[in-house]
Amino acid sequence: MTTSDPRTDLELITAINRGELGAFDALYHRHRDWVYRLAYRFTHHHDDALDVLQETFAYVARKFPGFTLTAGMTSFLYPVVKNTSITLLKRKRREVAFDPAAIPETAEAAIGPADDLFAVLAGLSDDHREILLLRFVDGFTLDEIATALQIPIGTAKSRLHHAIAQLREDPRARKYFENL
């Protein structure tokens, strides 16, 4: 089973609830890359991201049978990946406290290679950076953001507005907005 399965997430979940294990494969292949990317964003570590990927889908598997999806699949998965990542990082921090270099401690490290843009992003608050990435990298709608972050949609709108404004006002990001 691959991502070519034409069924919607909801239909796949219904099929898994009925006992069709192949539908789980389709659901996994459909969302695994995004889960891995998200996990990597939180952990900035390939192996850790794979661990998070594994734990996230183990968690999903434990929801069956009887799983009811009340939002989009990515909205459901986002807090799972985030919390799993945070838990993993905390655990690693305890285990390898003697090697702080092994764990990304700064926002810059969690985002990617340093340049002006990432310096700007690193300067944003966690909330603003998170909502910018959700909206523009993951392509979440405001509804999905509100669901994933478990915040009112008005808060999501406001938070996104301020994040963009802060980005626009930063001189280091100005070059990206010059042609607008």
Partner 1 sequence: MAKERDNLPDPLLARLRQAGTPQRSIPAEIDSAILQDAHAAIARRRRMRLFLRSSVGLAAAACVLLVVGLWSFMPGRNSNDINHDGRTTIADAFTLARKRAAGDNTITQERIDQVAYAAVHLDDGRGATR
Chain residues binding partner 1 by CB under 8 A are 16, 19, 21, 24-25, 28-29, 32-33, 36-37, 40-41, 46, 49-50, 53-54, 57-58, 60-62, 64-66, 111-113, 117-118, 132-133, 135-138, 141-142, 160-161, 164, 167-168, 173, 176-177, 179-180
Q: How many helices (H) and strands (E) does the chain have?
A: 10, 0
CB of 98 to partner 1, least distance (A): 26
CB of 87 to partner 1, least distance (A): 18
CB of 59 to partner 1, least distance (A): 10
CB of 7 or CB of 37, closer to partner 1 = 37
Structural contact between residues 89 and 43, judged by C-beta atoms closer than 8 angstroms: yes
In this structure, the chain runs to a length of 180
Omega cis (within 30) before 65: yes
CB of 10 or CB of 58, closer to partner 1 = 58
CB of 112 to partner 1, least distance (A): 4
Structural contact between residues 121 and 134, judged by C-beta atoms closer than 8 angstroms: no
Instruction: Decide: helix, strand or coil at residue 137.
Output: coil
Of 25, 18, 21, which Cα lies nearest the Cα of 2? 25
